[in-house]
Amino acid sequence: MDIFLKTIGSINDETRLKILHFIDVNGEVCVCDIENSFEMIQSRISRHLKILKDGGFLKVDRRGRWAYYSIRTPLDQFRQSILKEISCLDINIPLLNKGCKVE
């Protein structure tokens, strides 16, 4: 029950739906890419990514000074059905706008 509520709670927010769909569409991205694409402050992005990760939708891979977020694999049937439903919602997401100042 607690895990279910954490999963459901993680997608019960417009900002997180957009970020989740953005990652679903663009694949692996780092935090500053999202920050730059959405024009939101970094702490806000970081918090929502943590909630989506704790909700079981995202995984994070830290390489160098970056944290790369992507859809968790393998993803169970239930979360897959949620992602599919979200992909049908016609959500308005920004274009990927790389935000990293170094490579």
| Residue 32 touches which of DNA, a copy of itself, none (Cβ within 5-8 Å per kind) | DNA
Among 42, 81, 87, 97, binds a copy of itself (CB under 8 A): 81
How far is 49 from 59, CA to CA, in rounded Å? Answer: 9
Helix axes 77-87, 14-26, angle to 10 degrees: 100
Residue 75 near a copy of itself by CB under 8 A = no
How far is 69 from 55, CA to CA, in rounded Å? Answer: 14
**Which tokens belong to 43?**
């702490």
Q: Helix or strand or coil: residue 71?
A: strand
Of residues 40-69, those binding DNA (CB under 7 A):
40-44, 46-51, 60, 64-68
Q: Helix or strand or coil: residue 63?
A: strand
How far apart are CB 75 and a copy of itself at their closest, in Å? 14
The residues binding DNA (CB under 7 A) are: 9, 12-13, 15-16, 30-32, 35, 40-44, 46-51, 60, 64-68, 99-102
